[in-house]
Amino acid sequence: MSFANQLFTRLRRKLGIDTLPEKYTYAQDPRFGKVSASRVADRWVKTTCGYCSVGCGMEVGVKYGKAVAVRGNENHPVNRGKLCPKGLSEHHTLTAPGRARQPLLRKEGRLVPVSWDEALDTMVGKFGSIQQKYGRQSLGVIGTGQLVTEEFYTLGKLVQLGFGTSNFDGNTTLCMASAVSGYKLSFGSDGPPGSYADMETADVILLIGANIADNHPILCQRLERNKRRTLIVVDPRVTKTAMMADIHLPVKPRSDIALINGIAHVLVREGLIDREYIAAHTNGYEEFAEYVSTFHPEYVAKVTGLNEETILTTARLYGKAKAAFIGWTMGVNHSTQGAVTVAAINNLSLITGNIGRAGASPFSITGQCNAMGTRESGFTSSLPGYRKFDVPADRQELAEIWKIDVERIPTVRGLTYPDIIEGAVAGKIKAMWIIATNPVVSFPNYDVLQQALNSLEFLVVQDGFYPTPTCDFADLVLPAAIWGEKEGTYTNSERRIGKVNAIVAPPGEARTDFDIFLDIAERLGVRGELYPGWQTSHDAFLEWQQVSKGRMCDYSPFTWRQIEEEGGAQWGGERLYQDGVFPNQDGRARLHCVPCEPFTEQPNDEFPIILNTGRTVEHWHTRTKTAQVDLLNTMVPHAWLEMNPIDAERLQLKPHDKVTVISRRSRVPNLELRITGIVAPGQAFMPFHFSEHNSNLVTLGAFDPISREPNFKQSAVRVERTAFTVFEHVSQITKATGRDAATQ
Ligand code: SF4
């Protein structure tokens, strides 16, 4: 708007005659009817949602070069035109006020704007001198499932072959590592075997620790299309998903292994198993059958809190189904026993032959939009293309594609995310690079994380948003593009590769992560060697096609254009293991005897309540994005604590009282109390999205020994009425936002 126009507008407003026509003039949209003229797009750009792993296809409306609206892609096989509230308002993230716009370098205690040259020269120089002094492995890098696959693949090469450190992991370890490890334990490889289509054709759907109504809403639509199914939901809490169920099993926290073994016991005892499938495709059945013979319904009822009849009914429904589907998410994965719980779930599918057929699958529902892509293109828990660090032929194959000495490829994986943090506390990790993730809010046991970040000699935070609580610890902040500003692919939970398109340019001086990686490679002197001739993320895709060719996650048959036009393509087809051949050496899946252990931090007199954490549909992870979207944030502006009426009465608490949650580690004050039968007596629930009420101040720093995934759930706490509201609130904000307030 010209200066004269601005003056004229101001004058009209002052005089009270401005009707805000640019906002309130209506126009006819061909699909939506009458809407604000400002939202009638000139053109629509196809893309894939950048929030969760459902991977909905959408179209973003563009007017005068700005994203003004979003609509579901009616032809997309995942969502068929539907979107959840986050997807429908996603274009607002592109113009959100809290975007990172320029590189910031800490000078004399303050983050001040610098040029990209100064930022990247400083980063490469600092990392170099630290690695020279303490060794290559003193650098830790934590990536994210928010990058497109092409970027994550590029990053893996840069970290492992450019910087020469194997201490590289993704924030996906905080949500999906146990699913990966569990699949590897049973089948010999990662890779969800089924499809969303299976939810529409299964007779029985068993959801374990999966509140899809809040976390993967569009999957509820897929499920609702299946009118014949019996839905059984296993969850200690009466979630929105549990309310949709035919049978809700409100198990005691962390008794899922007992329930699963108990179901297996009934299946074996009553002959509801597929002997032919077991004989042809599995190992370890005799030992397994012997093991589960001790899980009598009577015993399982005591452990789970369910009655025997319910356990028998569930087992018989599952065992007699023509096709049975088991889905799970964080209720299973967020545990010190997550990986083996996944193996126990796989046991059920294997002994009944419920795998590799329509409607029949053990199916991990992933978290982030591209958690799957990072698992496949890796260089974290496995080598790219699901290759193994310890298999010489896998390393040799990559060395030949990359034309490098095979000795440069690590033979074992480096430190996982939690071990990088512990390594920093122990003084072994001296520099860290955190990309598009916000550990100050998302990592358990904040006090330990704070020690880790404070002990670093140099911390780089690369993010699309600024400030974030993690930026407060940074020595250098690199502003990055987000969804809608870059091009590449995401892969969703059902292995469907979706095309992601740039709709607008990044704000200010922000750059795509891909461009940042190449620029760093240039400064390290490895760009020509690692990325010969690369200019765009499509060059990364072309190499990734070559690297994945012939592997389970083979991208070579698909082009970007085809993926976009067809609404994505599933690597491995609609479902894996249709031939019953598994990627273990003998081609057979393994049955595992999984013990049922008590969870780590049991309640006692001082901390009598078991705290569970989770999500709500309106927000995403640590709210760096959704707190900036008015539509979402006004619906759920702050955290809360759910408590059963019996506990509330014992503590003489009333609805909406402000309460403090206290664990052995710290406290979260000033939470609004919701008294509800949704949680069982002796349990409480709070969402984990809010930095202002950071649940990870009180969560436990315990990790799965196999997957290294944190046990975010089942922390022993006590709840008190908040005494010193103002003081505690100020101290809470100070703690959640880091070591100083001197940032710009
Ligand atoms: S369900 Fe997930 S992928 Fe679909 S619109 Fe919502 S956040 Fe996006």
Please identify, by atom number, the ligand 1 atom nearest to the C-alpha of residue 87.
5
pLDDT of residue 744: 28
pLDDT in tens, 559-578: 999 999 999 999 999 999 99
pLDDT of residue 699: 95
pLDDT in tens, 108-157: 999 999 999 999 999 999 999 999 999 999 999 999 999 999 999 999 99
Q: Tell whether the model's pLDDT for residue 319 goes beyond 70.
A: yes
| CA–CA dist 221, 231 (Å, integer) | 13
Alpha carbon of 471 to ligand 1 centroid (Å): 27
> Which amino acid appears at position 339 of this protein?
A
Alpha carbon of 213 to ligand 1 centroid (Å): 11
pLDDT in tens, 369-402: 999 999 999 889 899 999 999 999 999 999 999 9
How confident is residue 21, by pLDDT bands cut at 50, 70 and 90? Answer: confident
pLDDT of residue 263: 98
Q: Are 379 and 394 in contact (CB under 8 A)?
A: no
Please identify, by atom number, the ligand 1 atom nearest to the C-alpha of residue 218.
1
Candidate of 52, 146, 369 to mutate for ligand 1, largest count of ligand atoms within 8 Å of Cβ = 52
Alpha carbon of 90 to ligand 1 centroid (Å): 10
Q: Tell whether the model's pLDDT for residue 300 goes beyond 90.
A: yes
Measured from CB, residues less than 6 Å from any atom of ligand 1 are 49, 51-52, 54-56, 79, 83-84, 86-87, 216-218
Alpha carbon of 366 to ligand 1 centroid (Å): 12
Please, where are the H alpha helices in 293-416? 297-304, 308-320, 330-333, 338-351, 371-377, 392-402
Alpha carbon of 176 to ligand 1 centroid (Å): 18
pLDDT in tens, 186-206: 999 999 999 999 999 999 999
Alpha carbon of 77 to ligand 1 centroid (Å): 13
pLDDT in tens, 451-507: 999 999 999 999 999 999 999 999 999 999 999 999 999 999 999 999 999 999 999
Burial degree of 428 (CB within 10 A; 0-12, 13-18, 19+): middle
Averaged pLDDT for residues 634-655: 96
Length of the chain: 744
Q: Tell whether the model's pLDDT for residue 1 goes beyond 80.
A: no
pLDDT of residue 136: 98
pLDDT of residue 727: 52
Alpha carbon of 638 to ligand 1 centroid (Å): 22
Q: Whose CA is nearest to atom 2 of ligand 1?
A: 52
Q: Are 262 and 300 in contact (CB under 8 A)?
A: yes
Phi-psi bin for 191: left (phi > 0), alpha (psi -120 to 50), beta? left
3-state helix, strand, coil in the chain (%, to 5): 40, 20, 45
Please identify, by atom number, the ligand 1 atom nearest to the C-alpha of residue 83.
5
Q: Tell whether the model's pLDDT for residue 36 goes beyond 50.
A: yes
pLDDT of residue 448: 96
Compute the half-sphere exposure of residue 107: CA atoms within 13 Å on the CB side of its CA: 9
Q: Whose CA is nearest to atom 4 of ligand 1?
A: 56
| CA–CA dist 435, 56 (Å, integer) | 24
| CA–CA dist 260, 348 (Å, integer) | 8
Tally of CB atoms within 10 A around 521: 23
For 505-571, give the DSSP string: PPSTT-B-HHHHHHHHHHHHT-HHHHSTT--SHHHHHHHHHHHHTTSTT--TT--HHHHHHTT-EET
Average per-residue pLDDT for the chain: 94
pLDDT of residue 741: 31
Alpha carbon of 50 to ligand 1 centroid (Å): 8
Candidate of 47, 48, 53, 56 to mutate for ligand 1, largest count of ligand atoms within 8 Å of Cβ = 56
Please identify, by atom number, the ligand 1 atom nearest to the C-alpha of residue 82.
5
